[in-house]
Amino acid sequence: MVGIRSYGAYIPRYRILRRTIYEAMGWYNTATAGVAKGERTVANYDEDSVTMAVAAAQDCLEGIERDEIGGLSLSSTTVPYLERLNAGICSAALALRPDIRTADFGSCLRSGTTALLYACDAVKAGSLDSVLVCTSDCRQGKPGSALEHTFGDGAAAILLGKDDVVAELKGTYSLSQDMADYRRTDGDGFIRSWEERWIRDEGYGKILVDAVHGFLQRYGLAIDAFAKVVLACPSSAAVRGIGKRLGLDPSKLQDNLMANVGDTGSAMSVMGLVAALEEAKPGDKILVVSYGNGSDVLYFEATDKIQRMPDRMGVKGHLHQRAELDNYTKYLVYRDLIPVEMGIRGEETPPVRLSVMQREGDTLAALCGSRCKACGTPQYPKQRVCVNPDCGVVDEMEPYPFQDRVGKIKSFTGDNLAFSVSPPALYGLIDFTDGGRLYLDITDSELDQLEVGTPVKMGFRRKYVDKRRGIYAYFWKAIPVNADAGK
């Protein structure tokens, strides 16, 4: 059977109250008072669609051998590179095999489900055994617009295959309609949209209903057969209205996460699927209905293996990891929407040596070190000679990835002299539980929250952006672990 082997999600730590946005910009557009409720997620200054996709994939691949992955796709409308394979960056960061199939899907909000359909077809045809589908978006509405309130940042990942599936794919249906509701060209820094009520009524209200009706007619099913229905619609009132028109029990509508996450674009439908799977029981039927220049409908049925899924952060776990971003100006700086004084230490960014990045390979991309075969001592970066003074063997090393290892802070510094978008700059010495020591930047934390001995995990983050040369430089940072997060 073809279906879902594993799933994962990523929701940024920072949340900004929509009331905070309105208090800063409501004077300019008082009509946004209607959407100034709840909160939305905000990617940290060192996050983008690629880093969030990697984080969701790490969550999805918990307990999965990475050599099993035969393909990876990234679906997003906000990828950093227009001419460089962003999925390739994700694949390298995850230390996947080099002989896998990678692809970017984009330019449409339903690109996430479109990638799922192509991956299912590849697995069904036997050309690939398993495919990791990553969806991620970090969209930007103009300051003072309703979209600035309703957008949210996040990512989700689904691993598809034939063996040990937790949810079997039972049916699909697609509609295509060229509707100019949301749009953005190469030169646009912000999302443009047509009149909101027209998008709600003529877009979501008609396209989603037509897609579901077409699916039900094709398979001879009734809407009440489904335990959960995921409607990728950012208007909660419209979701309830669509559910009513479909004759669906309101309790079966999957929460669209607009109250505390926001519209995550191409990731919205897949994130809703992950949230539904977290609550699913064997035999539950889940209907996923995406939106974007048409609609994709996917029907999954949970198997007995859903009960044996290992714990992961998922949607629920990430929702518990929250820090309020209570300063609207700080939000603008994180988004690079206003210039700030960088000082003489921050004005000159050293050029990224692309040849060095290529030569170092997984040492930089996947935080891969080496481990001595003789004594088991790990070391970063890779070494030919074992650093253990009681061993010292030469050329007896095996690759050793540090990205999945848990460490503890040995020492740390809060630096107010070095330039940081979120001062003070935090960095420290990390001792890994299974051996090895590394000096890393620390992110997603405040200085007063750090202590010697604080457990940390590794996160793939944007080190800096070389705007003059059009280069996004990525590396790994230490992220303090919240012991209360997760299921």
Q: Considering the domain boundaries, does residue 148 fall inside one?
A: yes
Question: Is 366 within a domain?
Answer: no
| Residues 440, 319: Cα–Cα separation, whole Å | 26
In a domain, 370, yes or no: no
Residue 30 in any domain: the answer is yes
In a shared domain, residues 330 and 470: no
pLDDT tens-place string over residues 31-80: 999 999 999 999 999 999 999 999 999 999 999 999 999 999 999 999 99
Count of domains observed in the chain: 2
Burial class (CB in 10 A: 0-12, 13-18, 19+), 223: middle
What's the whole-model pTM score?
Answer: 0.96
Q: Are residues 128 and 245 in the same domain?
A: yes
Output the domain CATH number for residue 474: 2.40.50
pLDDT of residue 217: 97
Q: At which of 305, 334, 363 does a domain end?
A: 334
Residue 454: partners with Cβ closer than 8 Å, 6 or more residues away: 408, 409, 480, 481
User: Of the candidates 303, 334, 365, which is a domain's last residue?
Assistant: 334
Other CB atoms within 10 A of residue 406 CB: 13
Q: Which domain holds residue 26?
A: 3-334
Identify whether residues 62 and 197 lie together within a single domain.
yes
314 with 448, same domain: the answer is no
Residues 423 and 303 in one domain: no
Q: Same domain, yes or no, for 415 and 306?
A: no
Q: Cα–Cα distance between 37 and 22 in angstroms, integer?
A: 9
Residue 172 lies inside a defined structural domain of this protein:
yes
Residue 318 and residue 414 in one domain: no
Q: Does residue 360 belong to any structural domain of this protein? A: no
Considering the domain boundaries, does residue 25 fall inside one? yes
The answer to whether position 278 is within a domain reads: yes
Q: Do residues 326 and 417 share a domain?
A: no
Residues 109 and 187 in one domain: yes
Per-residue pLDDT of the chain (487 residues; tens, 9 = 90+): 899 999 999 999 999 999 999 999 999 999 999 999 999 999 999 999 999 999 999 999 999 999 999 999 999 999 999 999 999 999 999 999 999 999 999 999 999 999 999 999 999 999 999 999 999 999 999 999 999 999 999 999 999 999 999 999 999 999 999 998 999 998 898 999 988 889 999 999 999 999 999 999 999 999 999 999 999 999 999 999 999 999 999 999 999 999 999 999 999 999 999 999 999 999 999 999 999 999 999 999 999 999 999 889 999 999 999 999 999 999 999 999 999 888 776 766 666 788 888 888 999 999 999 999 999 999 999 999 999 999 999 999 999 999 999 999 999 999 998 889 999 999 999 999 999 999 999 999 999 999 999 999 999 999 988 888 889 999 999 999 974 444 3
| Cβ-proximal residues to 75 (8 Å cutoff; 6+ apart), any chain | 104, 105, 106, 111, 112, 114, 115, 133, 134, 135, 136, 266, 267, 270
Q: Same domain for 46 and 138?
A: yes
Per-residue pLDDT at 348: 67
Q: Indicate which CATH number applies to the domain containing 318.
A: 3.40.47.10
